[in-house]
Amino acid sequence: MKYDIRYKPAFATIFLTLQPGEQIFAEAGAMASMSGKVAMDTGFFGGLIPGLLKAFLGGESLFLNEFTNKTQSPQEIVLTQSSMGDIVQTQLNGGSLCLQPGAYIAHTKGIKVDLQWAGFASWFSGEGLFKLKLSGNGMIFFGAYGGLSEKNVTDSFVVDSGHLVAYEPGIKLNVGLSGSMMGSLTSGEGFVNKLEGSGKIYLQSRSMGGLVKFLKPKL
Amino acid sequence: MSSAIAYKIEHSPAYASLKLNLKPEQSVTVEAGAMAAMDSCIDMKSKVKGGLGKGIGRMFGGESLFTSEFTAKGQSGYLYVSPGVPGDIKHYALDGSRSLMVQSSGFVAAAPGVMIDSKFQGFKGFFSGESLFLLKVTGEGDFWFSSFGAIIEIPVDGSYVVDTGYIVAFEDTLNYKVEVLNGLSFKNLKTSIFGGEGLVTHFSGSGKLWIQTRNVASFVRFIHPFRPVKSN
Amino acid sequence: MKLELLHQPDSAVAKVLLDPQEEILAEAGAMVAMSSSIDVSTTLRKGKGGGVLGGLKRMVAGESLFISVFRSGGSAAELYLSPTLMGDILPYTLSGTELVIQSTSYLASTPGVQIDLGFTGFKSLFSGESLFWLTANGSGLALLNAFGSVYEIDVDGEYVVDTGHIVAFERTLDYSISKANKSWAGAFFSGEGFVCHFKGKGKVFCQTHNPGSFGRMVGGKLPPR
């Protein structure tokens, strides 16, 4: 499978070439355009989950599309995300990565996708009740609203909720108010996430919360 | 006089993010809610710039004057600041010789020696989405402002016309006048579409002007049909 | 006329340098800044047949096209034009082939290009897209804008594009709209909605991002209207 992530970081888009017999799984709506000969099938994310829970997923639809090249020659497909922003490809070799809702775009066979309970604290801070955990062997593509930066956390680090995109399982999240209750409300910082542990994290340079806060007084 | 704050602007120009490297006990004032991430040695205090009276009720045009003051305690630390909309960030060093007029939602961060005053322009309410509040920035020190879209610097020498929604900042050595440019206005075409008032700012004199390549009012109009509808 | 495109592809802006007594047409509201010597007038472009577009009664943003005409005076002048959404600008030179343009992708054109509304090749199947299509004919330059970056596909055979991602296409192509999946359930759940199958030979210009998806994503988080 050949891939090329173009137009980084503003409008990162994945240009993929599927070899004969190859396939890729992508979130609903990710296909922008593709050669007329690619076959598309729809399936469900990790098991059957009642439709009502979809509302709590905050950005991750339950449905996955499977794109397969059933022909004898390479075929092209262009995948993108709903929000404008950066996309990162990473290879998992037995390890795992946790993704915030909305960040997931696509993965190859060999990767297992699981919905995990993220805890009420996570829900309070606007990050949803669930998070996605991807593990196994293969490629994954995830994106963000804004530019993506990678950072290695060694001890502790504070992140504003909404800017954390992905993190390795060795990182523990502690969601809380940034200062005293009053301080948080007036400062607008609201909820912050104090990360502890060591591992890689990915931050996005914009947040939906920030965009909404900017637009509200102008409506 | 405070020493300059070390900084780096990343992901410019689409999603510029300001990375500040604070020395021990060094402080910086940042727009409320703009902190994206920081080292845990950095302490945050909520402040109202310009005194309590001026802060309350100042919710016009996207710039509440609530700011946060971040200080590195005991050691140096990094602070990542992100504006709300996609766009760029520019640094300006105030040296006391002139003031900078900045569009109301453009404030990102300022060093302690910089003073920010909100200066009402008189045309509020004309546009849905773009009130014409300008911030007057004076003093000495580092200042950072942001835009919606990319920033183009225009050295004005003579006269120039800019649609008010695209103004980011300008030096106060320039004279400015807000007026309606008839040919741009389509109000008289009997439509009920938002906008189209044709308000422009006429600049004259000599000085630097920064314009942005996108406009919030148009974006608000675009988003409008996607908003949930109020149910009765 | 000289054209310079700045800040591609994130936040492209067109810097137009007009010779004396030159004219350019642009979507009303596209003007960012200009020399004070430029004269502007704005008119409402009507649909085919000269009568007022039926859609005018509804006045939903995007269903009618307000065009501003910018004319320089006795000396050269400059003009900056910007679209509404973040993204790139694509210049297309017309010389014979008709170009079908998605309405929100039209930014500007030179006077020799004839812009017409009322292309009825695609009926309104797009729930929530409120797209309509323009046709451009004649000769000259058309400036198109995209939400995201623009990529060009030289179709020679068969190509499929999600309808929210089409910027423009050459009329030499055959096109048909269908649901992405064979079954209706599949189409609903797949989130792909409607796709356009292009066949034959010709160029399709696609945008990397879908304004409808982004609009829904952000709009859904805003207070109700």
- Out of B41-55, C111-125, C145-159, C202-216, which region has the weakest mean confidence (pLDDT)? B41-55
Looking at residue B129, its pLDDT comes to 42
- Nearest CB partner across the interface for B61, out of A147, A205, A217: A217
Q: Is C208 touching A (CB cutoff 8 A)? A: yes
- Read off the pLDDT band of B191 (50, 70, 90): very low
Phi, psi of A67 (to 5 degrees): -110, 125
Q: Is C221 touching B (CB cutoff 8 A)? A: no
* Tokens standing for residue A160: 């504003």
Interface of C with B in 44-63 (CB under 8 A): 44, 59-61
Residue C195, strand partner residues: C162, C178
| Alpha-carbon gap, residue B199 to B193, rounded angstroms | 15
For residues A63 and A21, the answer to whether their CB atoms sit within 8 Å is no
- Nearest CB partner across the interface for A212, out of C158, C204, C221: C221
Looking at residue B194, its pLDDT comes to 39
Looking at residue A185, its pLDDT comes to 43
In Å, how far is C153's CA from the nearest CA of chain B?
A: 25
Q: Give ipTM to 2 decimals.
A: 0.81
Q: How many CB atoms lie under 10 A from the CB of residue B53?
A: 9
Phi, psi of A209 (to 5 degrees): -60, -40
Interface touch C189/A42, C-beta < 8 Å: yes
Strands (E), C47-171: 65-71, 77-81, 89-95, 99-102, 106-109, 113-116, 133-145, 150-162, 166-170
Interface touch B11/A179, C-beta < 8 Å: no
Smallest CA-to-CA distance from C100 within C50, C155, C168, C166 is with C168
Find chain A residues with C-beta within 8 A of C191's C-beta: 27-29, 61, 63, 65
How far separated are the first and last CA of chain C, in Å rounded? 43
Q: What's the gap between Cα A110 and its chain centre?
A: 18
Interface touch C208/A37, C-beta < 8 Å: no
Residue A202, strand partner residues: A150, A166
What SS3 state is found at C111? Answer: coil
Is the pLDDT assigned to residue C181 strictly greater than 80?
Answer: no
* Tokens standing for residue C196: 């356009």
Looking at residue A45, its pLDDT comes to 54
**Residue A176 buriedness (CB in 10 A; 0-12 / 13-18 / 19+):** middle
| Alpha-carbon gap, residue B210 to B90, rounded angstroms | 10
Interface touch B226/C61, C-beta < 8 Å: no
Interface of C with A in 1-20 (CB under 8 A): 9-11
In Å, how far is B66's CA from the nearest CA of chain A?
A: 6
Looking at residue A55, its pLDDT comes to 41
Task: Give the Å distances, CA to CA, from C4 to C18, C27, C90.
Answer: 12, 18, 11
Q: Residue type for C201, please?
A: K
Q: What's the gap between Cα B218 and its chain centre?
A: 17
Domains of chain B in start order, with CATH, are 6-226 (3.60.160.10)
* Tokens standing for residue B210: 């920064």
Find the closest chain C residue to A78 by CA distance: C208
Interface touch C13/B161, C-beta < 8 Å: no
| Alpha-carbon gap, residue B146 to B4, rounded angstroms | 19
Q: Is A39 touching C (CB cutoff 8 A)? A: no
What SS3 state is found at C35? Answer: coil
Output the average pLDDT for chain B: 77
Looking at residue B183, its pLDDT comes to 58
| Alpha-carbon gap, residue A131 to A164, rounded angstroms | 12
Smallest CA-to-CA distance from A172 within A142, A135, A197 is with A197
Find chain C residues with C-beta within 8 A of A219's C-beta: 222-223, 225
Q: How many CB atoms lie under 10 A from the CB of residue B196?
A: 18
Interface touch A157/B64, C-beta < 8 Å: no
- Nearest CB partner across the interface for A33, out of C148, C165, C190: C165
Q: Is C76 touching B (CB cutoff 8 A)? A: no
| Alpha-carbon gap, residue C92 to B87, rounded angstroms | 27
For residues C166 and C132, the answer to whether their CB atoms sit within 8 Å is no
- Nearest CB partner across the interface for C157, out of A36, A61, A80: A36
Interface touch B85/A211, C-beta < 8 Å: yes
Looking at residue B122, its pLDDT comes to 46
Contacts of A206 (CB under 8 A, 6+ apart): A85, A144, A145, A146, A147, A163, B15, B82, B83, B84, B85, B86
| Alpha-carbon gap, residue A88 to A134, rounded angstroms | 14
For residues B82 and B12, the answer to whether their CB atoms sit within 8 Å is no
Smallest CA-to-CA distance from C93 within C53, C41, C143, C28 is with C143
Model pLDDT for residues A157-202, shown as the tens digit of each residue:
888 877 888 999 888 877 766 554 444 444 455 667 788 888 999 9
For the segment C162-191, the average pLDDT, to the nearest whole number, is 72
Looking at residue A184, its pLDDT comes to 47
Interface touch B34/A157, C-beta < 8 Å: no
- Nearest CB partner across the interface for B225, out of C13, C60, C223: C60
Is the pLDDT assigned to residue C182 strictly greater than 60?
Answer: no
What SS3 state is found at C137? Answer: strand
Q: DSSP assignment of B7-61, as one string?
A: EEEESTTTB-EEEEEEPTT-EEEEETT-EEEE-TTEEEEEEETT-HHHHTT--GG
Is the pLDDT assigned to residue C219 strictly greater than 90?
Answer: no
Q: How many CB atoms lie under 10 A from the CB of residue C23?
A: 13
Fold annotation for C2-219: Double-stranded beta-helix (3.60.160)
Model pLDDT for residues B165-190, shown as the tens digit of each residue:
888 999 989 988 877 766 555 444 43
Contacts of C159 (CB under 8 A, 6+ apart): A33, A34, A35, A36, C153, C197, C198, C204
Model pLDDT for residues C29-65, shown as the tens digit of each residue:
788 888 888 888 776 554 443 333 333 322 333 445 6
Looking at residue C166, its pLDDT comes to 92
Place of tokens 């050691």: B75
- Please give the helix or strand (H or E) that residue B214 lies within, else none: none
Looking at residue C150, its pLDDT comes to 93
Interface touch A214/B85, C-beta < 8 Å: yes
- Nearest CB partner across the interface for B82, out of A184, A194, A205: A205
Is the pLDDT assigned to residue A46 strictly greater than 90?
Answer: no
Interface touch C10/A10, C-beta < 8 Å: yes
Interface of C with A in 127-186 (CB under 8 A): 147-149, 151, 153, 157-162, 165, 180-181, 186
Interface touch C85/B222, C-beta < 8 Å: yes
Place of tokens 């009303």: C28
| Alpha-carbon gap, residue B137 to B5, rounded angstroms | 17
Q: What is the DSSP letter of C220?
A: T
Interface touch C28/B166, C-beta < 8 Å: no
| Alpha-carbon gap, residue B151 to C205, rounded angstroms | 27
Model pLDDT for residues B121-136, shown as the tens digit of each residue:
544 433 434 455 678 8
Find the closest chain A residue to C213 by CA distance: A82
Chain C interface mutation, best of A42, A79, A104, highest count of C Cβ atoms under 10 Å: A42
Find the closest chain C residue to A145 by CA distance: C214
Model pLDDT for residues C108-157, shown as the tens digit of each residue:
999 888 887 766 555 444 433 445 678 888 999 999 999 999 999 999 98
Model pLDDT for residues B78-113, shown as the tens digit of each residue:
999 988 888 999 999 999 888 998 887 888 999 988
Give, in words, the CATH class of A2-207. alpha beta
For the segment A78-93, the average pLDDT, to the nearest whole number, is 92
Smallest CA-to-CA distance from B92 within B214, B190, B7 is with B7
Q: What is the DSSP letter of B2?
A: P
pTM of the model: 0.82
Interface of A with C in 63-122 (CB under 8 A): 63, 65, 78, 80-84
Output the average pLDDT for chain A: 80
Looking at residue B121, its pLDDT comes to 55
Place of tokens 């090329």: A4
Q: Touching A: which chains, 3+ CB pairs < 8 A?
A: B, C
Helices A208-215 and C211-219: crossing angle in degrees, nearest 10, is: 80
Looking at residue A16, its pLDDT comes to 95
Q: DSSP assignment of B95-109, as one string?
A: ESS--EEEEGGGEEE
Q: How many CB atoms lie under 10 A from the CB of residue B48?
A: 17
Q: Touching C: which chains, 3+ CB pairs < 8 A?
A: A, B
Looking at residue C65, its pLDDT comes to 66
Looking at residue A175, its pLDDT comes to 73
Q: Is B106 touching A (CB cutoff 8 A)? A: no
| Alpha-carbon gap, residue A157 to C176, rounded angstroms | 53
Is the pLDDT assigned to residue B63 strictly greater than 70?
Answer: no
Model pLDDT for residues C8-39, shown as the tens digit of each residue:
888 899 999 999 999 998 887 788 888 888 88
Task: Give the Å distances, CA to CA, from C43 to A78, B215, C25, C106.
Answer: 39, 22, 10, 16
In Å, how far is A185's CA from the nearest CA of chain C?
A: 19
The residues spanned by each domain of chain C are 2-219
